[in-house]
Chains A and B, each alone.
Chain A
Amino acid sequence: GAVVSQHPSRVICKSGTSVKIECRSLDFQATTMFWYRQFPKQSLMLMATSNEGSKATYEQGVEKDKFLINHASLTLSTLTVTSAHPEDSSFYICSASVRGNQPQHFGDGTRLSIL
């Protein structure tokens, strides 16, 4: 079945570092991918919609200069957390749909810890 791969699964880094998270659709092409953020013991909140070949659409309150999204190919979207600070520590999850009428498949998430 359709698989979404997310890498890395865990990152621990110092404050001020920029971190890149990759989301790949392994056996299908995804024109649209979604990035969610999950705080401990809370729900997932949509951060942005990543569109292949165009700019991402960010949700209200999400800093687009802080969270850079690039969707350069039909199988890869990247989320870069620039100049990360401790408050950026969270669980980031991406998802993609095989086709427009198919449910989204989720990556295994990236646990980001900023010291």
Chain B
Amino acid sequence: AQSVTQLGSHVSVSEGALVLLRCNYSSSVPPYLFWYVQYPNQGLQLLLKYTSAATLVKGINGFEAEFKKSETSFHLTKPSAHMSDAAEYFCAVSVSSGNTPLVFGKGTRLSVIA
């Protein structure tokens, strides 16, 4: 079975500050990990994915995440927050990179303060 825990349902940062969204996973098989962003009343947009290649994954909009097997973590970071980054962020795990269901964390709402 797989599961995802996102620590912090709401994170607030100042514009220009570091963004850190935490994600820990549990998986009985080597995991495939994803971060998605959701804007209000919209679907999910893929930010980045880990598929057993490089442990440091770079995504869109300046986001990156590092896979740490020893810590079972896949935290999302961005050096400098923009107002447009305010959204809901979901970490997800799957047993493959494609046609298998995703198991999502509860999500973290990111607020960016001017």
Interface string of A90-113 (1 = CB under 8 A from B): 010101011111111111110100
Query: Per DSSP, are chain B's interface residues mostly helix, strand or loop, or mixed?
Result: loop
Task: Assess the B44–A32 pair: CB atoms within 8 A.
Answer: no
Cα separation A102 to B97 with both chains bound (whole Å): 6
Query: Per DSSP, are chain A's interface residues mostly helix, strand or loop, or mixed?
Result: strand
Contacts of B99 in A (CB 8 A): 31-32, 97, 100
Cα separation A93 to B103 with both chains bound (whole Å): 14
> In this complex, what residue of B is CB-closest to A45?
B104
Indicate the member of A45, A46, A91, A103 with the most B CB atoms within 10 Å: A103
Chain B min CB distance to A107 (Å): 5
A54 at the interface (CB under 8 A from B): no
A60 at the interface (CB under 8 A from B): no
Cα separation A21 to B97 with both chains bound (whole Å): 26
A103-B97, A109-B43 are contacts. A43–B106 as well, Cβ < 8 Å? yes
B31 at the interface (CB under 8 A from A): no
Given contacts A6-B43, A101-B97, 12 further A-B contacts (CB under 8 A): A34-B102, A42-B106, A44-B44, A95-B44, A95-B102, A98-B98, A101-B96, A103-B97, A104-B98, A105-B46, A106-B45, A108-B42
Residues in chain A within 8 A of chain B (CB atoms): 4, 6, 9, 31-32, 34, 42-46, 49, 91, 93, 95, 97-109, 111
Residues in chain B within 8 A of chain A (CB atoms): 34, 36, 41-46, 49, 51, 90, 96-99, 101-107
